[in-house]
């Protein structure tokens, strides 16, 4: 942006950096919190996660982190194997993420709400959809307000059209895999270094 200062002011540049900072943390930190809360409340879940981390990440794995290059898939492959970590992260995101999906209408459209009120959307209107409405809908998830740690184990919950913590289609968050990896590695450190 700064190379094209004719097009972008320093205020635009600062705004873009603030947006990147906000978007990188808006769901990551709350998910870290809720994940930790749920596993500390339930000894069974705690044991599952603890055993999974110890199985895939022996204590010496991160002791010599220099042996892992950015071109290696070792870390990525190990993170993917942590199915309970992944499921609990997805369940925390499903319950508590605050993402919004923005769309532009391509034609005039009218739809009727459950109470018979009608909403008219004009062509080219910008629409903001709050993903948490779908993520807490019983049409997509059984017991939608209940934390079920293994809901995403079989990947069925993740493929649901109601699971949208990172948006969807061509505007899906490009940092979603990084965010999940950060959460997993953070919990690895909590379990091993701080001996939870």
Residue positions in the annotated binding site for heme? 173
CA distances from 5 to 8, 18, 19 (A): 5, 18, 19
Burial letters for 114-148: b for 16+ Cβ neighbours within 10 Å, e otherwise?
A: eeeeeeeeeeeeeeeeebbebbeeeebbeebeebb
Q: How far apart are CA 60 and CA 73, in angstroms?
A: 18
Gap between the terminal Cα atoms of the chain? 44
Q: Which two tokens stand for residue 104?
A: 């532009």
Closest CA to 147 of 68, 66, 194, 88: 88
CA distances from 137 to 100, 132, 156 (A): 16, 8, 16
Residue with the two structure tokens 């909590």 = 190
Residue with the two structure tokens 């600062």 = 14
């Amino acid at each position: 942006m700064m190379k094209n200062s004719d097009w972008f002011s320093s205020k635009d540049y600062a705004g873009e950096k603030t947006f990147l900072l906000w978007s990188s943390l808006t769901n990551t930190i709350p998910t870290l919190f809720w994940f930790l809360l749920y596993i500390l409340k339930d000894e069974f879940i705690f044991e599952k996660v603890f055993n999974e981390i110890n199985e895939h990440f022996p204590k010496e794995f991160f002791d010599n982190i220099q042996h892992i290059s950015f071109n290696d898939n070792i870390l990525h492959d190990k993170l993917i194997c942590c199915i309970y970590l992944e499921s609990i992260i997805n369940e925390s995101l499903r319950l508590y993420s605050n993402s919004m999906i923005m769309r532009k209408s391509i034609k005039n459209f009218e739809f009727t709400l459950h109470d018979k009120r009608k909403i008219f959307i004009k062509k080219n209107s910008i629409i903001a959809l709050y993903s948490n409405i779908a993520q807490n809908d019983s049409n997509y998830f059984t017991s939608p307000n209940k934390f079920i740690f293994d809901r995403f184990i079989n990947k069925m919950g993740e493929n649901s059209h109601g699971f949208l913590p990172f948006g969807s289609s061509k505007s899906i968050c490009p940092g979603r895999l990084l965010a999940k990896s950060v959460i997993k590695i953070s919990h690895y450190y909590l379990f091993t270094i701080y001996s939870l």
